[in-house]
Every structure is written in C-alpha cells, then in structure tokens.
Structure 1
C-alpha cells in the first residue's frame, strides 16, 4: 500500500469576484446602478419632483377664488417689479449676514476651545453634549422663551432697572431686529459649531507644534495653520446657517411681533391667501438666490475633502 497521496487539483478561479459576476451575469456598471437605485428614487420623488412642481405652478395664473394652469410670467413680473420684494429680500439678506457673522465667531470660538484646550476625549464629549442640550426641545419653545425675558416688564429690563443702569424699560429688546437676530443666533449656532469642531479634530497636532517650534506666535498659528485647515468646516457651517436663516419665517413672525418681514413670511402670507402661484414664484426666486450664495461659498474651498 503506497504512503503517497495523489494531489487533487483545486479550481482557484471559482470564488473570484470576476467569476461570481460572470455567474450572475451582472457587470460592474449594472451593479453600481442597482445599488444606487433606492437612493436615486428617494431623491427623485422627495426632492426633484417637488421642485419641478413648484417651478411649474409658478407659471400658473390665479384669481381671488381659484388658480388655473397656464404658462405666463405675471407672477415673476409682479414679484420683480415690486419695491416690496426688494425690501424684503434685503431684509432677509441682512438677517442672514448678521446671523452668519455672529454664529461664525461663536461657533469657531467654542469649537477651538473644545478641540485644543480640552485635553481628554471624555470631557470633549461631555462639553459637546452640553452644547446640544437646548436642542432637546423644539425650536418654537426655545424661541418663545426669549419673550418673557426681553419683554417690557421682563427679566432683562427689570434687572437693569433694579441695578440703576436704565431709568425706563428698553423697547428695542423685543419685537425688533435685535430680538430676531438673537433668536436666530440661539437657534443656529450649533450648526456652525459641529462642522468646525469636526474639522478641527482632524488637524494633526504636530503641525501646530511645528509652528510653535519655528517661532510662530499664537495669532500666527491661528491665522496661518488652524484657520486655513478649518475652511471646509467653516464653509459647511456657513451653508447651513445661511440657508436656514433665509428660509425661516416663524422666527421673524414671533420675535418681531409681525412688524418685520423676510422672504419666508412673504411665501407664508401668499399660501395663507391661497395664492399658490405667487408663493411658488417667490420660492423659486429664493431657491435661485440661495443656490447663488452656496455657489459663491463653494468657490472658496473644496468641501468634498470634508465629506
């Protein structure tokens, strides 16, 4: 009886990816399309089609009692020739720019402190979660909570009067541009903190140490190392804040006492009056404006490195 065993040849190609694809009869391109099909359908039905419908309705006509399908530019002509439209858009841009500037300063400062001055990961997580506590309640509740604080007989005026700082209540604390911007900053600062903090955490600490070793001051390190490397996070946060502020309408309504207006309120008023074609035309103009702003922001940095 022979002690030698005969080697059995194995088919090593049977389990390769190319063999499996050949077995199922699917190419790489077809497999890729099938994998992306569910997300494509979701985006198509919940994003593309609604936008297309809004654009179509913006060309329709309307009377006091009905709307009718048509292809006319009356809505855009009325919108673009009305001085009220330009005033409202300028007011919207003013809110967006001021809120963006304040949230950028606050968001960068908070993110810088968490990323570079808090040494342990545990405390970074704890303090970051502490920043998110206000977001555990709804935007409306957090916004309305400012009204008893800023009112004529509210906590702020009562405290200032008791300290002798003022002799009579400050009227501009509530139902003004100040209260609107204050509410915007309160609501949307976290949208600036998160992307900036995420970007700062990816910065190699050895780069900062190298800057200090080469004689750079703290300000030089900030302006030449940290800020350039944080640009993607700043741009993402800026896009979030600007788009949210420009589309918001409920904050302006409550915090201004219906004395101020932005584009969102203009659309809301048209919908309340059942003037859907006019509201759709305003929404299209607002969408184009926001896309232009986003396009300008994306010219400064490639945020694909952050995604």
Structure 2
C-alpha cells in the first residue's frame, strides 16, 4: 500500500486561484456583466420616452424582417472584407521586406517605429488629415488637374465608400504587419535554403513555403481587423459624409434616438456575426503557437 501524499497547506492550494482572481474579476466586470446587460435589454420594450423592462421579441423580429438592417449588415461585411484583403496584402509585403531584406536589427527597429509613430495621435485626427488630400479642391484633385489627367474634380475621393476603405487601410494595416512579421521571423531560414537547393523559384518559395508558415500571422491580424472594422462607426460618420452606413453607425443612431433595446438587439446580431467569422477563421489555425 502506497503511503498517502501529505496534504498541502490551504494557502498553497488557494494560490493558483488567487493568481487568476484579478484577471477573472476584470473579465467579469468589464466583459461578462456588460454582455449580459446588452442581451437582457435587447428583450425589453420601449417607446418614444422610456425603456420598459419586459420580455418581448419585437426588437428581433423587427430587426430580422427589415431590409434596411440587412443592407446595412451587408455593407458592414463588404467594408470588412475589402479592408481585410488590402491590409493583408500590404501587411504581408511590408512584413516580408522587413523580415527578409532588412539585415540589421537597428534598421528593423527604425522601420517599426516609423509604422507605430502615427498611433501616438488620435485616430480621428489622423482620418481628418485625409480631407485636405481627398476633397474637390484637395491636393490630389489639384495635382491631377494641373498635369491634365482630369478636367473636373473627382467626387468619389471624399465622402464615399472609397474614402472609408482608404482610411480603414491606413488605420489598421499595422495590425497585419506586426503578427505577420512575428510569424516570418520564426521561419527557419534553412527551410528556404532547402527550397532554393531543390530548384524552387522565388515565387514558388513565396507561395509554397512562406505563405503556409504565416497562416497564424494572417489569422491573428484578421481577428484584429475584423473586430475593429465591424464595430467602427466614427470612420463611417466622418469619411462617409452620411452617404454610407454600417451596423455600428446604425446602433449609434438608435442610441441617439433613445431606442436602447433596438440598439442592443443590433449589437447582439453584430456580436454573433463577428464571433462566427472569427470562429470560422480560427477553425483550422492554432494561434496559441504564435502567442
């Protein structure tokens, strides 16, 4: 009969729970409780003056039966996919150059600092700075007219879907650069040398070696981009000029009209869409390897 292991002291048994308690409390107060409140209020009733605590399905039936809601959701998804595609391409090109062509660590640090310095200012200031460039009398239109490429100013440059996507790419490309560079820096250079010795061309190395080994970087960057873009409303409000709408912008308008239950129902729908997209994206990728 094996001797019974000595019983550990109470403090030693409680130590792991004490270590995770601060994070658990933060997640509870700032994530779980707000989510529960949003879901609860989404079932309440409301009129033009007050919110009535009740259990009704009106907010969801009205939302699911509204063509405007579905068009707005489609517009949100389209903005997200466009931004995701462009930021993935730009982020991969920038990260590839830094990882494989910049030799000295000092120069890599300088390039990363150049990418991150704009984040020291507000996103609103950075997106407003595009207005003098994209306006009818802006620098781009003036330059194109001066060199004779156009006769009239281009109206689609500002207060349009193009302007919204351009600012999204400008704001969130770094969210792709960082995880992709992290994934590329972990690639064993002997693998690339073996591919070269086997006669692989640079294009084949790019598509058959580098890209498969960077899928965790793409996944992490996509999580950031999808989450931020689908919940954004400030960029749409400023750069869209009222001509475009997203689900986040719709929720903002409902809150301004004191339609809190309807806004919560749309927030729940947006949360389901975002979590479904992220879940499908991470289904075949283990991002814990890159963390």
Q: TM-score, normalised by structure 2?
A: 0.96
Cα deviation per residue 1:62-104 (whole Å; 9 max; x = unaligned)?
0000001001110011100000001000000010000100000
Q: 1:140 aligns with which of 124, 131, 135?
A: 124
1:224 to 2:208 alignment: yes
Q: Which runs of 4+ in 1 moved over 3 A?
A: 24-28
SS in 1 for 2:214: helix
2:162 counterpart residue number:
178
Which stretch of structure 1 is more off in the superposition, 288-297 or 129-138? 129-138
Cα deviation per residue 1:189-245 (whole Å; 9 max; x = unaligned)?
111111111111111111111111121111111111111111101000011111111
1:56 counterpart residue number:
40
Q: 1:32 aligns with which of 16, 36, 50?
A: 16
Between the two structures, name the one with larger relative contact order (CA 8 Å, sep ≥ 6): 2
Q: 1:43 aligns with which of 18, 27, 30?
A: 27
Q: Structure 2 unaligned runs (5+)?
A: none
* In structure 2, distance between residues paired with 1:180 and 1:39: 36
* In structure 2, distance between residues paired with 1:25 and 1:56: 39
* In structure 1, distance between residues paired with 2:22 and 2:202: 49
Q: Structure 1 unaligned runs (5+)?
A: 1-17
1:303 to 2:280 alignment: no
2:144 counterpart residue number:
160
Cα deviation per residue 1:31-90 (whole Å; 9 max; x = unaligned)?
322211111111011100000000000000000000010011100111000000010000
Deviation of 1:272 after TM superposition, in Å, equals 0.5
SS in 2 for 1:258: coil
* In structure 1, distance between residues paired with 2:68 and 2:213: 42
1:93 counterpart residue number:
77
* In structure 2, distance between residues paired with 1:197 and 1:70: 50
SS in 1 for 2:173: helix
1:250 counterpart residue number:
234
Aligned residues between the structures: 287
CA RMSD of aligned residues (A): 1.3
SS in 2 for 1:279: helix
Cα deviation per residue 1:1-25 (whole Å; 9 max; x = unaligned)?
xxxxxxxxxxxxxxxxx98x83x43
* In structure 2, distance between residues paired with 1:98 and 1:181: 7
